Amino acid sequence: MKRAALLAAALLLSIDAGAQLSDAYAQVVTSTARPLLARDGADAATFRGSLVFFNYCVTCHGPNADGNGRAARLYDPRPANLRASGKNAEYMRLIVRNGGKSVARSEFMPPWGEELTDEQIVDVVSYLQSINARNDR
Ligand code: HEC
């Protein structure tokens, strides 16, 4: 149910990114337990990236991106705390696209290159950079 609502939100977004953005976002807000939203004033790519994150990444990385998703305890090493990551955008796009194993990290960080488009990967990394506490000034 929750997932269906999120998928509907993502679909809406891909149909008409501009006009439907706030509608789609409202659905995510009401359907996910206290997600860490893209910040006010974030650009469209960052908003789209947050939807990618809520659809594909929360199970492990958690709604607050702090590495405490429902499945996190199954993995050792644990899913990374993405709010405290010191990795730059280029590295993040690489590990998201090709998976942990490709960069000598855990194979339980899946490769998303088959499932997500390049744009979605760029967008989700833009979202991750925007919520990274290290990037606060
Ligand atoms: C099945 C669980 C799982 C899912 C789903 C998952 N990840 Fe991960 N992810 C991991 C694990 C485990 C690590 C830590 C790998 C390690 O430390 O060796 C990780 C690491 C990362 C890192 C590296 C961060 C750093 O500071 O080094 C990034 C970036 C990342 N994940 C992004 C994502 C994104 C974006 C998604 C969704 C598209 C996602 N992950 C989905 C398990 C997962």
pLDDT in tens, 77-107: 999 999 999 999 999 999 999 999 999 999 9
pLDDT one-digit tens code per residue, 38-72: 777 889 999 999 999 999 999 999 999 999 999 99
Smallest CA separation from ligand 1 atom 32, residue: 96
Measuring CA to CA, which residue among 15, 81, 75 is closest to residue 51?
A: 15
Q: Is 105 in the pocket of ligand 1 (CB under 6 A)?
A: yes
Please tell me if the CB atom of residue 95 comes closer than 6 angstroms to any atom of ligand 1: yes
- Whole-number Å distance, alpha carbon 22 to ligand 1 midpoint, is 28
In angstroms, rounded to a whole number, what is the distance separating the alpha carbons of residues 113 and 110? 9
Q: How many Cβ atoms sit within 10 Å of the Cβ of residue 10?
A: 20
pLDDT in tens, 10-40: 544 454 555 455 655 555 555 445 567 777 7
- CB–CB of 131/82 below 8 Å? yes
- Distance from residue 63's CA to the centre of ligand 1 (Å): 13
Handedness of CA 97, 102, 104, 106 (dihedral sign): positive
